Structure 1
Amino acid sequence: FSHSAFTFGIESHISQSNINGTLVPPAALISILQKGLQYVEAEISINEDGTVFDGRPIESLSLIDAVMPDVVQTRQQAFREKLAQQQAAAAAAAAAAAAAAAAATTAAPAAVSQQNPPKNGEATVNGEENGAHAINNHSKPMEIDGDVEIPPSKATVLRGHESEVFICAWNPVSDLLASGSGDSTARIWNLNENSNGGSTQLVLRHCIREGGHDVPSNKDVTSLDWNSDGTLLATGSYDGFARIWTEDGNLASTLGQHKGPIFALKWNKKGNYILSAGVDKTTIIWDAHTGEAKQQFPFHSERSCPLMETCVYYSQAFISFLFFFFKPLTLLQNEVNAIKWDPSGMLLASCSDDMTLKIWSMKQDTCVHDLQAHSKEIYTIKWSPTGPATSNPNSSIMLASASFDSTVRLWDVERGVCIHTLTKHQEPVYSVAFSPDGKYLASGSFDKCVHIWNTQSGSLVHSYRGTGGIFEVCWNARGDKVGASASDGSVCVLDLRK
């Protein structure tokens, strides 16, 4: 990475540039590259006469493929052949329809008001399709239930961070919201109504020891997690240290055994162990009381770190390791962005840059469902807090997927079908979160919007536009407030009470 950055800087003469780097938004280069790929893909999909191939590409272009003339020409030819097949099929369907209409005119009219059932592959009202894994490329925008805009009086904007706020998480027992930022601090915001009006903040400065003194690490806070009773907050940092803080902002322990940045950490359900994962290809289980590293798992693949982001199922951490690493899952062809256990701990969902969402069972090596509907990378996934082993056992379990194609999809896990496609966002969606009762879903996108959806109808019920791209959304324990962290250093809290 250092060599690549040096080469890029030298060849681009960046030192001679008068561009103010502070004005360049996060992920600007990635956004430009994505738009370039979109342009090439669009160019491939359009025929010489202006007609457009109506279908999902077999696979997305890579950066290398996009600049290879032979690859582009091959894709264009394949699309043109498929377009010809589409046109032939459409002509045949039109002829059949004309014949059927002619036959209908000679028959007595009967039951003309009867609703025709959807044909195989056609979307129903909810966007569900008869084909188990069919793809709906013509999802209609969700209906808006009246005025959904959240008024300023119901939105609290918290400012104090001096850089992007990557993560946020509510305390599970009180209205304390923790946030982690690129300014090398985490903050605990007190949003309890009895806190003398307004919100107060505790600044958790991440420091390292140098020359016998504590100095700011100047590294991003990359992850954070509250223990189950809300008394301790664990944070992971790009400086390679995990830290444990009390709810009143005091540093309780510093955990230092990783040899590189930490990108994920989780408490177990009992609150006596913490699991951390780093780019040093190791995962460590820590004793939360003593700060001792109890066990360290070395992995030999550079892809271990992304996979470890969410692989802990509370007290069943060891099951996760045994299943995922000692019983390797197959068919993971591209970069895996997230994995999540369902509430029962029996199913594991994974999402990838190959635009697929896979569901795995503890009982077999191959995936239970291979769900393909998104047209770009799937960045994250979340299970609903419903079904067996939850406080909402009478509601069916769902899975939400958020993608760089600007959509969120809700999946019926048992049948392996998409039940809703949520299409109001205009930029990549980085975060989704279910309300505690599973009736609502919050989504946050780099279009600066937080949307709240009804999971049963798929309708948009609340919407808020902030001042920065949204990295993370989360619900408080009562389900009446949503927190969101943003790229401009702000944290917003949306009060959904009427």
Structure 2
Amino acid sequence: MVDPFHITADEINCLIYSYFKDSGFAHSAFVLRAEGRLEHSPHYRKHVPRGELVELLSKALLFSEVEAHWKGNAMTMSCTNQFRLLEPHTCSFDPKFPPPPLPDAQRHHVHPERVQPLQAEAENAAHAGVPQADGSLKRKASGTPSVDEPPKEKRARTNGQLEDEVEIRSPSVVETRLPAARTSAVPATPATAAAEEAPASNDMIRTASNETAASEPSEQQDDAVQLLEAHKAAVFVCGWNPVHHTILASGSKDSIVHIWDIPGPDKDGVTFAKVQPPLTCAYTAKGSDSDLTSLTWSNDGSLIAVGCYDSVLRICDSEGKAYFTHTQHDGPIFAVRFSPSGRWFLSASLDGSACIWDVKEKKLHRQFSLHKQCCLDADWISDLQFVTSGSDARIYVNDLDSQKPLRTLLGHQNEINQVKCNPSKTRLASCSDDMTGRIWNIENVDPLRHVQDSHSIVLEGHTGPVSHIVWSPITPSGEHELVATSSFDGTSRIWDSVTGECLCSFDDHKKNVYALAFSPDGRHIATAGGDGCLHIYDIRAKEKRWSWNAGTPNSSIFEIEWQQSGNLNRIAMAMEKTTVGVVDLTKVPELQ
């Protein structure tokens, strides 16, 4: 088949030459004619209509508009943003005029080439004897290759899945239950633990002797825990608003994000049992690629952002109304972070890139193609510098205005699940599937010189992938900073971040530990996992103070966030059983 289009550089030069002459740039036209030897061109004496270059570029923009809006979804059908030559297009609409509803055929369209490598990875890991999460519970780069393997086929971007629901919807009924949960601060006897023990599953990593000796909460009523019902699927993420302390956001497997108003106890210690129905955020994805991976608030509490498997970046305001969306990434988004000032926004994706967005201008500032395989996590050092980690076992320290990394941190032997800066932003903690954590010095990064750094404090002791690492928010004067890790080996550990010494290890979970959080005052640490248990430990005493169990089946707790402010002291839980748990710790005598 003959290509119907034929464009030569000589034609382009003659077109620009005519534009220079039409615009009065006589000297520029003369230089171009001389440099390009246009008088020898067969096109030199052809008639070029005045304004032809602008006319052709206008037609190119019209084609770009058709190319960008071919999906015909709610966002593109009502897009009000103009197309420009030198700026990437971002679909947006006027919130005063909600977009029309999508036809049913478009709402549920899923790209036929979408890849789901989760099962293959789980089977391979099981044969290798590596402790694994249940199904797809390891919500990161599922199916990403190891350092020594060639990249596998990545999950393709889905088309026609974005449904932009601008009107805020409230479920008609939201029940608040006070569960008959199992709570206690005292370990049960081995006989009791054995009687209550569920049948062993393949991913349990303890021996039978360890299980019988583990602390098992006794069964009793507990009014410290509220379970909020509105989600229709497993809840993966949750986060308290940093400014408006009664506001909690939660996101589920079906991409629905709810915003709850949860009053705390009044000055007399009375807690209101009724919680009003939540708001539902706009920009809900549809289809099987709708798992939410991350959720974060801006520091001023005005915006909330979510990362999703459908590769679409979404930001809403604190009332759930649409603020910004973009499809820049070519793979699932695993991390979303606002910069300290809130001016910038960072997203990290399976496509190996990290994008920096201008929050106020609602546009892309720069895309960094950093990692060879997958960018799994990111954190801000300052408003000018940030770090990323990937499945290529590398960590990069980056500057907003430099396309190349300022520093490359080498040492991990497998994909790096998390990176976290300490409160003073002088050191970095990372954790990996190589079963270690590491502490790096990131002070005095030279913005003019790229350095490879392999010096780190290695935290060794876990026997499974290390999924989470967190810094203690408070360090007493004269003491070393503490860092905590949790692993799929069912344990969590507290470390001296300067010496690398393991100060204590907690092994009360019977399955993978999915969540880890220090209390804001630095006195306690909470862990939660696939066994449905929430454990709270006293850091100084190195002892468990209190536990709660969600019960079975579908009892996993995927994420927790601890809030302390005034008379509020509570933990939010994202739970597999489609509920959001809120633990009022002021009602737990063992923690007072």
Normalised-by-shorter TM-score class = 0.5 to 0.7
Quote the Cα distance in structure 2 between the aligned partners of 1:296 and 1:184: 25
1:227 offset after TM fit, Å?
1.0
State the SS of the aligned residue for 1:497. Answer: helix
State the alpha-carbon separation in 2 of the partners of residues 366 and 393 from structure 1: 29
Q: Note if contact 2:130-2:464 (Cα within 8 Å) is conserved in structure 1.
A: no
SS of 1:230 mapped into structure 2: coil
Report matched runs for 1:329-478 at 5 Å. 329-362=409-442, 365-387=453-475, 396-467=480-551, 468-478=555-565
Q: Which runs of 5+ in 2 are unaligned?
A: 1-110, 132-145, 149-206, 389-394, 399-404, 444-451, 588-592
Provide the rounded CA distance (Å) in 2 between the counterparts of 1:250 and 1:217.
Answer: 24
Q: Give the number of equivalent residue pairs.
A: 371
Equivalent AA in structure 1 for residue 343 of structure 2: N
Q: 1:371 to 1:466 in 2, by over 3 A?
A: same
With over 3 angstroms needed to count, the CA separation of the structure-2 counterparts of 1:219 and 1:383, relative to structure 1, is same
Contact 2:282-2:316 at 8 Å conserved across structures: no
Partner of 2:94: none
Is the partner of 1:442 in helix, strand or coil?
A: strand
Cα distance between partner residues in 1 of 2:428 and 2:336: 18
- The answer as to whether partners of 1:386 and 1:393 remain within 8 angstroms in 2 is no
What displacement does 1:437 show? 0.8
Q: Secondary structure at the match of 2:299?
A: coil
C-alpha distance in 2, partners of 1:229/1:404? 34
Q: Tell me which of 233, 236, 252 is aligned to 1:166.
A: 236
Report deviation, 1:282.
1.6
Tell me, yes or no, if the aligned pair for 1:185 and 1:203 is still in contact at 8 Å.
yes
Seen in structure 2, the aligned counterparts of structure 1 residues 291 and 5 have a Cα distance that, compared at 3 Å, is closer
The amino acid of 2:294's aligned partner reads S
User: Does residue 336 of structure 2 align to residue 268 of structure 1?
Assistant: no
Corresponding position of 2:279: 202
Q: 2:344·2:357 contact (CA, 8 Å) conserved in 1?
A: yes
In the alignment, the residues of structure 2 paired with residue 469 and residue 319 of structure 1 have an alpha-carbon distance, to the nearest angstrom, of 30
Give the C-alpha shift of residue 473 in structure 1.
0.9
The structure 2 residue matched to 1:285, chosen from 356, 364, 381, is 356
Distance 2:556 2:469 in 1: 19
What amino acid is aligned across from residue 378 of structure 1 in structure 2? V
CA distance in 1, matches of 2:214, 2:357: 48
Once the two structures are TM-superposed, the CA of residue 462 in structure 1 deviates from its matched residue by 1.5
Q: Specify the alignment match of 1:323 in structure 2.
A: 397
Q: CA deviation at 1:180?
A: 1.4
**What aligned pairs does 1:208-219 form with structure 2 within 5 A after superposition?**
219=290
- The 1:186–1:497 alpha-carbon spacing in structure 2 relative to 1, beyond 3 Å, is same
* C-alpha distance in 1 between matches for 2:574 and 2:584: 15
Judge which range, 470-479 or 170-179, deviates more. 470-479
Residues in 1 aligned to 2:534 and 2:406: alpha-carbon distance in whole angstroms: 39
Which deviates more, 420-429 or 462-471?
A: 462-471
For the Cα contact (< 8 Å) 1:358–1:367, is it kept in 2? no
* Structure 1 equivalent of residue 380 of structure 2: 312
Which sits farther off after the overlay, 160-169 or 251-260?
251-260
Secondary structure at the counterpart of residue 302 of structure 1: coil
1:142·1:459 contact (CA, 8 Å) conserved in 2?
Answer: no
Tell me, in whole angstroms, the C-alpha distance in 2 between the residues paired with 1:310 and 1:394: 30
One-letter amino acid of the structure 2 residue matched with residue 206 of structure 1:
Y
The DSSP-based 3-state class of the residue aligned with 2:223 is: helix
Distance 2:560 2:440 in 1: 26
Structure with greater proportional helix content: 1
Larger CA Rg, structure 1 vs 2 = 2
Using the TM superposition, give the Cα deviation of residue 150 of structure 1 relative to its aligned residue in structure 2, in angstroms. Answer: 8.5
Tell me the equivalent position of 2:573: 484
Corresponding residue SS for 2:397: helix
Indicate if the aligned counterparts of 2:307 and 2:334 stay in contact, CA closer than 8 A: yes
Q: In structure 1, what is the Cα distance between the partners aligned to 2:359 and 2:418?
A: 25
C-alpha separation in 2, matches of 1:254 and 1:240: 11
Query: Matches of 2:495 and 2:211 in 1, distance apart?
Result: 17
**Following TM superposition, by how much is the alpha carbon of 1:28 offset from its aligned partner in structure 2, in angstroms?**
8.6
Gaps of 5+ in 1: 9-26, 41-61, 65-136, 209-214
Aligned 8 A contact 1:281 1:302 in 2: yes
| C-alpha distance in structure 1 between counterparts of 2:115 and 2:369, whole Å | 28
The offset of 1:433, in angstroms, is 0.7
Range 462-471 or range 28-37, more displaced: 28-37
User: What's the CA shift for 1:158?
Assistant: 1.3
* DSSP-derived class of the 1:271 partner: coil
Give the Å deviation of 1:36: 5.5
